[in-house]
């Protein structure tokens, strides 16, 4: 234990690693090479966790497939953020009864944020008997022993004990991309925004040690990774629990000082804890992308207070102004919730005026979804669904017009992009600010930085043509 955090010891992890060999031996006796399918819902934190689950499965001898049909193990890594996300999982879990009937040896696991809610795990126990195992995010490191139990004893395995949270270093990772990597720098959240389920399902805020994060980044850069995405629910409070005097800006500066040709991105920044030091650090290191995701959630001070966000409209706007003053080229994105309980038309108008004033490059817009057990779920909510949908549509239309205008202003500019994939006859690439560019060029350029002249735009993306390639080094 360190504060509220359970540090999983190397001995405990070695016990899990011993199961890799046992599971390999299990399949060797059957003379089979087993396959696994991991389906990920929700945010990048879950993507990062799925890469660790795949890493453990690969260590157990499994080959990954891209469908549940015929897979020996299916893992559903779930999200609870909105009701719709959970409904999708329950629907897809139901469909797995059929894949299991066709392949009776199939073992099905559910993990992620839904596994952190007792109402969900009770429902799985009772009504989804084809699910063999459930583990919450705190117990991800125990997956090998749970898998072994399910395989060899045929019993169901539940590892869902509630706890403030764990940190396990050294779990194998099977990354989805060699170019871009997710690096969780911390887990959990302490903010308890009144609408949000994350603190309940992911536990208290806990930071990884700076040297563990730096070692992971060094290894990624050495293996050719070009983009390091640092992840946390509120990265600006990184290090507070460690008491080492290293805050998020210090960590960023240490990573940015590593040799190599790469960019650092990060999310999410909470306006409550973001400040001048962060923006000055971003401005002074060329390897830190000039991109900021700074959710504002609402433009109304009354609603922000009811959300327990700990900042007001004026303070938020001041942050944006300062960030733009030190980084004029900053690409700014945000999250907003429409229809929070009791949001009046006037309060919604304040959100509309904020987005017009700030002019975000892009916005992630959500309609409030009551999450059982959170304070907002029991707040009075007299606004009709139709009215909320109307506000949502209005907000999206206004933002889309802004995004379209901002994208159009790129036309004629020449920018450095990282070519990151192939899409039909075209290549995809990302600007430093994270904007998507499509271009027609040689697929051999994937994985390199190129100079691209922007020739066209839409609300969501840019089109370009190769200007000249930047030599590496």
CB of 193 to ligand SF4, least distance (A): 3
Check residue 264 for interaction with ligand SF4 (CB under 6 A).
Answer: no
Between CA 466 and CA 28 the distance in angstroms is 51
Torsion of CA 264, 266, 271, 275, to 10 degrees: -20
Between CA 157 and CA 434 the distance in angstroms is 41
Q: Are 464 and 411 in contact (CB under 8 A)?
A: no
With CB under 5 to 8 Å by kind, the binding choice for 79 among ligand SAH, ligand SF4, ligand F3S, none is ligand F3S
Check residue 96 for interaction with ligand F3S (CB under 6 A).
Answer: no
Comparing C-alpha atoms, which of 194, 206, 149 is closest to residue 377? 194
Comparing C-alpha atoms, which of 291, 211, 294 is closest to residue 250? 211
**Own/partner long-range contacts of 243-246 (Cβ < 8 Å, ≥24 apart):** 244/210, 246/210
Binding mask 221-240 for ligand SAH (x = CB under 6 A): ------------xx------
Residue from 199, 370, 421, 456 in contact with ligand SF4 (CB under 6 A):
199
Check residue 251 for interaction with ligand F3S (CB under 6 A).
Answer: no
β-partners of residue 110 are 76, 134
Residue from 38, 146, 198, 242 in contact with ligand SF4 (CB under 6 A):
198
Check residue 448 for interaction with ligand F3S (CB under 6 A).
Answer: no
Check residue 191 for interaction with ligand SF4 (CB under 6 A).
Answer: yes
Query: Which SS3 state, helix, strand or coil, does residue 207 take?
Result: strand
Closer of 139 and 371 to ligand SAH (Cβ): 371
Closer of 81 and 183 to ligand F3S (Cβ): 81
Number of Cβ within 10 Å of residue 267's Cβ equals 20
Token pair 């583990």 is found at 135
Between CA 314 and CA 472 the distance in angstroms is 44
Check residue 81 for interaction with ligand F3S (CB under 6 A).
Answer: yes
Check residue 366 for interaction with ligand SAH (CB under 6 A).
Answer: yes
Which among 42-50, 52-60, 100-108, 375-383 is the span making contact with ligand F3S, rule CB under 6 A? Answer: 42-50
Residue from 53, 113, 124, 193 in contact with ligand SF4 (CB under 6 A):
193
Segment 160 to 189, residues that bind ligand SF4, using CB under 6 A: 189
Binding mask 314-343 for ligand SAH (x = CB under 6 A): ---------------------x-x------
Which among 8-16, 34-42, 155-163, 192-200 is the span making contact with ligand SF4, rule CB under 6 A? Answer: 192-200
Token pair 């669904």 is found at 385
- Which residue has the closest beta carbon to ligand F3S? 42
Closer of 105 and 372 to ligand SAH (Cβ): 372
Which among 153-161, 366-374, 396-404, 419-427 is the span making contact with ligand SAH, rule CB under 6 A? Answer: 366-374
- The 3-class secondary structure across 391-459, one letter per residue, is HHHHHHHHHHHHHHHHHHCCCCCEEEEEEEEEECCEEEEEECCCCEEEECCCHHHCCCEEEEEEEEECC
348: exposed, middle or buried (Cβ count in 10 Å: 0-12, 13-18, 19+)? buried
Angle at the Cα of 434 from the Cα atoms of 433 and 437, rounded to 5 degrees: 110
β-partners of residue 238 are none
Check residue 184 for interaction with ligand SAH (CB under 6 A).
Answer: no
Segment 186 to 215, residues that bind ligand SAH, using CB under 6 A: 195-196, 198
Between CA 362 and CA 397 the distance in angstroms is 12
Check residue 270 for interaction with ligand SAH (CB under 6 A).
Answer: yes
Check residue 42 for interaction with ligand F3S (CB under 6 A).
Answer: yes
Check residue 394 for interaction with ligand F3S (CB under 6 A).
Answer: no
Between CA 282 and CA 287 the distance in angstroms is 9
Closer of 121 and 268 to ligand SAH (Cβ): 268
Interface ranges with ligand F3S (CB under 6 A): 42-43, 45-46, 79-81, 112-113, 197-198, 201-202
Interface ranges with ligand SAH (CB under 6 A): 81-82, 195-196, 198, 233-234, 268, 270, 295, 297, 335, 337, 366, 368-369, 371
């Amino acid at each position: 234990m360190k504060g509220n955090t359970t540090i999983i010891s190397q001995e405990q992890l070695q016990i899990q690693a011993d199961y890799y060999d046992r599971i390999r031996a299990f399949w060797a006796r059957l003379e089979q090479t087993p396959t696994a399918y991991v389906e990920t819902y929700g945010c990048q934190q879950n993507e990062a966790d799925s890469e660790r689950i795949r890493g453990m499965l690969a260590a157990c001898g499994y080959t990954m497939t891209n469908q549940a049909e015929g897979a020996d193990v299916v893992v559903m890594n779930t999200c609870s953020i909105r009701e719709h996300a959970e409904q999708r999982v329950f629907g897809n879990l139901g469909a797995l009864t059929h894949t299991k009937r066709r392949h009776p040896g199939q073992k099905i696991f559910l993990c992620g944020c839904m596994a952190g809610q007792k109402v969900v795990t009770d429902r799985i126990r009772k009504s989804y008997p084809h699910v063999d195992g459930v583990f919450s995010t705190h117990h991800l490191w125990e997956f090998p022993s749970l898998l072994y139990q399910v395989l060899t004893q045929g019993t169901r395995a539940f590892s869902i004990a509630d706890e403030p949270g764990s940190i396990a270093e050294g779990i194998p990772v099977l990354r989805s991309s060699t170019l871009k990597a997710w690096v969780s720098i911390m887990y959990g959240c302490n903010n308890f925004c009144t609408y949000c389920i994350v603190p309940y399902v992911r536990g208290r805020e806990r930071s990884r040690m700076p040297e563990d994060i730096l070692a992971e980044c060094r290894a990624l850069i050495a293996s050719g990774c070009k983009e390091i995405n640092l992840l946390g629910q509120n990265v600006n409070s990184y290090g507070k629990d460690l008491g080492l005097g290293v805050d998020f800006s210090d960590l960023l500066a240490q990573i940015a000082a590593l040799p190599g040709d790469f960019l650092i991105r990060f999310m999410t920044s909470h306006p409550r804890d973001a400040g001048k030091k962060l923006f000055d650090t971003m401005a002074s290191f060329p390897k830190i992308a000039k991109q900021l995701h700074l959710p504002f959630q609402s433009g109304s001070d009354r609603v922000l207070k009811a959300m327990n966000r700990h900042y007001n409209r004026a303070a938020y706007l001041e942050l944006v102004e300062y960030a733009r003053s030190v980084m004029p080229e900053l690409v700014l994105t945000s999250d907003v919730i429409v229809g929070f309980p009791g949001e009046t038309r006037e309060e919604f108008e304040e959100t509309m005026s904020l987005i017009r004033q700030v002019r975000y490059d892009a916005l992630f817009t959500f309609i409030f979804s009551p999450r059982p057990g959170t304070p907002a779920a029991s707040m009075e909510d007299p606004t009709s669904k139709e009215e909320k949908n109307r506000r949502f549509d209005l907000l999206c239309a206004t933002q889309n017009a802004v995004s379209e205008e901002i994208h159009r202003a790129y036309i004629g500019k020449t920018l450095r992009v990282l070519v990151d994939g192939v899409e039909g006859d075209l290549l995809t690439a990302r600007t430093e600010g994270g904007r998507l560019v499509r271009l027609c060029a040689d697929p051999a350029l994937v994985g390199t930085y190129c100079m691209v002249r922007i020739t066209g735009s839409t609300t969501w993306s840019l089109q370009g043509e190769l200007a000249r390639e930047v030599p590496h080094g």
